[in-house]
Chains A and B, each alone.
Chain A
Amino acid sequence: GAVVSQHPSWVICKSGTSVKIECRSLDFQATTMFWYRQFPKQSLMLMATSNEGSKATYEQGVEKDKFLINHASLTLSTLTVTSAHPEDSSFYICSARAMGGKLFFGSGTQLSVL
């Protein structure tokens, strides 16, 4: 079945550094990818919708200059958390929409900012 690969699975970084998270659709082309954030015991919160070859659409309250999204190809989207701070510590997960609308999720990235 279709697989979405997300890397890294976890990352620890110092405050002020930038962290890049990759999301790849391995055996299908994803014209649309979604980036979510999840706090412990809470539901997923959509951060942005990423369309191949165009600028991402950010949800209200999500800083586009802080959470840079690039969807350079039909199989790869990246989320870069710039100048990370402890409050950015969270679980980030991507999903990709395949033809027909079915969604496939990455395994998530646990970010801890010290």
Chain B
Amino acid sequence: DGGITQSPKYLFRKEGQNVTLSCEQNLNHDAMYWYRQDPGQGLRLIYYSQIVNDFQKGDIAEGYSVSREKKESFPLTVTSAQKNPTAFYLCARSIQPGQGSEQYFGPGTRLTVT
């Protein structure tokens, strides 16, 4: 799974609750990314981080938050402010921006909010 662990595989939450998705990598890579995938659509970037304690908004960051306290971990919180949180969430890693350009994805977490 691209050297990335995402848990859990399926997550169910009630509307109005915040939920945190886990992403862990064990390859000592600098860059990590969160994408959202909706049925029949491509992936859209939520947040990315190039180094510890630093992260940047992607194209659809509203309603989401992240942290990067450790190099190996990049958790994503889906807040109650996210209007359409039900989606497939994918975490990715990359060796270092500007050098190895390849991004490798984890197995994903499918979040359902009712």
Co-assembled chains A and B = no
Residues on A facing B (Cβ under 8 Å): none
Residues on B facing A (Cβ under 8 Å): none
